[in-house]
Amino acid sequence: MHINNLILKNFRSYENLNIKLNDRLNIFVGNNAMGKTNILESIYLCATGKSHRTNYDKEMISWNENESHIQLNFEKDNREERINLNLRKNYKKGAAINGIVITKIADLIGNLNVVIFSPEDLRLIKDGPGGRRKYINTEISQISKIYFYNLNKYNKILKQRNNLLKRMNYKDYDRDSLEVWNVQLIEEGKKIIDLREEYINKLKVIVKDVYKNISGDKEEIELDYEKSTTTEKFEINLNRNIEKDIRQGYSSVGPHLDDIVIKINNVDIRKYGSQGQQRTAALSLKFAEIELIKKELNEVPILLLDDVFSELDRNRQKYLLKYIEEVQTILTCTGVEDILKEYDIKNNIFYVNNGIVSKT
């Protein structure tokens, strides 16, 4: 799978952009705040229906404009496909695939597959569980639409339950309504836990291989699913925590609190890993994401690398470059690294300057 063309109109700093991409490596070079990440963001948006850095569509529309348009042409199974997005200031965004309007943005998912790697991802292991849950959710959502729907449903139920818990704190107890939410939370939650279990088990095998390749066989990585509760004990645990939940106005049991444990040679590297181990593990998780998509969907996703290349040491850069040979990659950096110059990349460089992209 690869992107052929990207057209942006009034998207962030781009008034009008129309570029043709190479089907392998694409390097966007420019100083800070010139608009490199904006390009990756527009692609990510076409793939997932969401930005990777804001929840507000409005922020992506160029200042002083009311609408923004994105068109992305890509090739999948030797067929050319087209995604059109339309962002409007006070309305929901609109989308079309091959000219046919889709009513649910979620239906975008699964058409264009991308894996994004940003500097924050290098802290995936070290930072709190939120980022790791996001990683797992994004990963499984791309592969399983059912998971994506379940997750959205679960989050809505959770929000309602939490709202009720907060009200119960200072008003009469409404146990019956709470019970209704409990039942739904457990029902949807169990589906999430089961699917996470299934995919994390697949992921753990892949991560092991990838990590070995990057670290040179020396260390053994172990990825495990750390559950807030098992499906069997969900109901018991939820009921056990009800008084606490009411006091806190928050649901203290459920897959919204899950995490993944990453151990190297049996040591939990979330807490005790060296920076090198944590970064290599983060990189491995990202490559495992690509590998799992390949396996499950029979598609090679597009790799978006935002400013991470210079953050990696020589070995990891080399590993990454080996990958780029098979995957369409869109890489941003502030200066072309020496190692990149070892490749014949003259035709792959785009210079980004204040919302203008040129090839010279």
Ligand X SMILES: Nc1ncnc2c1ncn2[C@@H]1O[C@H](COP(=O)(O)OP(=O)(O)O)[C@@H](O)[C@H]1O
Site residues for ligand X per CB under 6 A: 12-13, 30, 32-38, 59-63
Which of ligand X, Mg ion, none sits in contact with 13, Cβ below 5 to 8 A by type? ligand X
For residue 88 the two structure tokens come to: 């409007």
Q: Which is nearer to ligand X, 52 or 256 (CB)?
A: 52
Residue nearest to Mg ion (CB): 37
Coil, strand, or helix at residue 26? strand
Which of 296, 344, 239 lies closest to 113, judged by CA?
296
Which of ligand X, Mg ion, none sits in contact with 196, Cβ below 5 to 8 A by type? none
CA dihedral 32, 320, 42, 77 (to 10 degrees): 160
Rounded to whole angstroms, how far apart are CA atoms 154 and 161? 10
- Min CB(106)–ligand X separation in Å: 24
Residues 213 and 193: beta-carbon distance below 8 Å: no
- Min CB(164)–Mg ion separation in Å: 41
CA distances from 13 to 8, 85, 246, 359 (A): 10, 17, 46, 18
Rounded to whole angstroms, how far apart are CA atoms 159 and 138? 20
Which of Mg ion, ligand X, none sits in contact with 62, Cβ below 5 to 8 A by type? ligand X
Amino acid at 40: L
- Min CB(168)–ligand X separation in Å: 41
Q: Which is nearer to Mg ion, 29 or 242 (CB)?
A: 29
- Min CB(210)–ligand X separation in Å: 27
Rounded to whole angstroms, how far apart are CA atoms 228 and 257? 6
Contacts to Mg ion by CB under 5 A: 37
Radius of gyration of the chain (CA): 22
Which of Mg ion, ligand X, none sits in contact with 35, Cβ below 5 to 8 A by type? ligand X
- Min CB(29)–Mg ion separation in Å: 12
Q: Which is nearer to ligand X, 60 or 192 (CB)?
A: 60
Q: How far apart are the first and last CA of the chain?
A: 27
Burial bucket for residue 12 (CB in 10 Å: 0-12, 13-18, 19+): buried
Q: Which is nearer to ligand X, 48 or 62 (CB)?
A: 62
- Min CB(279)–ligand X separation in Å: 21
Q: Which is nearer to ligand X, 33 or 146 (CB)?
A: 33
Q: Which is nearer to Mg ion, 122 or 210 (CB)?
A: 122
Coil, strand, or helix at residue 326? coil
Which of Mg ion, ligand X, none sits in contact with 63, Cβ below 5 to 8 A by type? ligand X
